[in-house]
Structure formats: structure tokens, C-alpha cells
């Protein structure tokens, strides 16, 4: 389908057209939605704010504009934040020479500056998968596990896991960022 728009120039009477010129279409809007690209980041120190600051810094550098985090706790395991990445603009090219995405800590060998491979990304989520790979490969002292919607549902249904609160971060423009924290009762604080 070929859809074009024109801007009409009207005479002084405001009714009679005297010219027309093409209008450039706006770029397709990215729907702000959560994706199946998810991670559980845990810390032995219990400092969830450190996880949140590190994750936001790294994800923003990778081009992520929206992320939701759920603070989770378990009586046996380290506390953490379950991160859910928001929708991103699609990649220009799906072809990538990077390595397979892997998660770990800074003690891992083989850290390279190449972009993570997106060949095993869920269809339509290549950009988010690449951002997840950058986060996993960045220097950190946290334990990271890949997740997906079923893992989040299992955590929510497991009585041994507790979700304490949710955090949300969104960049509206290149120069403006907003951080909000929501309590389990739904009250929002800034």
C-alpha cells in the first residue's frame, strides 16, 4: 500500500487551494511494552540499589529506553532484581559477527568488545536480546541468570519467593530520564 500525505496551501480566503506539497511521514512509533527478554540479577551483599544503578547504566548505554525490575527475596538464595526489558527500535541489520550471548561475572574469560550474537533471539526481539547480552558481558560482581515470562510466573507462584516492590525506568527523550519506584500496594514514589 502506498500512503502519501500532502499539505495544502490555501488562498487568503482560507478555502481555495493554491498549492500542494508532500508531507514526510513520521517514523513508526515504538509501542511501549514489556518483552520476553528478562534476567534475574542477584547480589550477596543485599544491596539492590547497586544492582539497579549498574543495570540502568549498562542498559541505557545499550540503547534500552524502558525497563521494569521486581525486587525478589528467598529464604535460602541471595536477594535480587528480576529485570524485564521494554521494547526497543529494531536493529538495522540482523547479521552479526559477535559471540553467543553468555552471562557471568567479571571473572569469566573471553570478554570481547564485539556485539553479542542475535541469531538465537526470539523473532522480533533482536535489539533487546543484544542489550541483554551487553548487560551480561559488562563488568559486574553480581550473579546473573537469563529469564523469560515463564520464569517470572514461577517466581510469583512459588511461596518461597517474595516480590517486595517494583521499579520502573523510562527515557522519554535523549536528555530526560525518569525513575519511579512502585510499592507492592501500587503506590508510586519518585
Question: What residue spans define the domains of the chain?
Answer: 34-189
Tens-place pLDDT, residues 91-111? 765 443 344 344 544 344 443
Q: Are 39 and 146 in contact (CB under 8 A)?
A: yes
Provide the mean pLDDT of the chain.
Answer: 77
Q: How far apart are CA 136 and CA 105, in angstroms?
A: 8
Half-sphere exposure of 156 (CA within 13 A, CB side): 11
| pLDDT of 190 | 34
Q: For the residues 29-56, what does the mean pLDDT come to? A: 89
The predicted-structure confidence for 112-156, as pLDDT tens digits, reads as follows 455 567 778 888 889 998 999 888 888 778 899 988 899 989 988
Return the higher-pLDDT residue of 142 and 175: 142
Q: How many residues does the chain have?
A: 190
Lowest mean pLDDT among 19-33, 42-56, 74-88, 112-126: 112-126
Mind listing the pLDDT tens digit for each residue in 144-163? 998 889 998 998 899 999 98
- Res. 83 pLDDT band, cuts 50 70 90: very high
Average pLDDT over residues 83-94: 79
Amino acid at each position: 500500500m502506498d500512503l502519501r500525505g500532502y499539505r495544502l496551501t490555501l488562498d487568503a480566503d482560507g478555502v481555495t487551494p493554491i498549492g500542494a506539497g508532500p508531507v514526510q511521514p513520521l517514523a513508526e512509533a515504538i509501542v511501549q511494552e514489556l518483552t520476553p527478554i528478562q534476567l534475574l540479577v542477584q547480589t550477596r551483599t543485599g544491596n539492590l540499589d547497586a544492582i539497579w544503578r549498574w543495570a540502568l547504566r549498562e542498559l541505557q548505554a545499550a540503547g534500552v529506553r524502558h525497563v521494569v525490575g521486581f525486587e525478589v527475596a528467598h529464604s535460602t538464595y541471595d536477594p535480587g532484581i528480576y529485570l524485564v526489558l521494554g521494547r526497543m527500535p529494531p536493529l538495522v541489520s540482523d547479521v552479526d559477527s559477535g559471540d553467543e550471548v553468555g552471562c557471568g561475572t567479571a571473572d569469566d574469560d573471553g570478554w570481547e568488545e564485539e556485539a553479542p550474537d542475535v541469531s538465537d533471539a526470539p523473532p522480533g526481539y533482536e535489539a533487546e536480546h543484544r542489550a541483554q547480552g551487553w548487560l551480561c558481558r559488562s563488568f559486574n560482581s553480581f550473579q546473573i541468570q537469563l529469564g523469560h515470562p515463564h520464569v517470572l510466573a514461577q517466581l510469583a507462584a512459588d511461596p518461597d519467593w517474595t516480590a517486595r516492590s517494583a521499579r520502573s525506568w523510562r527515557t522519554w527523550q535523549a536528555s530526560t530520564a525518569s525513575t519511579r519506584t512502585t510499592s507492592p500496594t501500587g503506590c508510586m514514589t519518585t
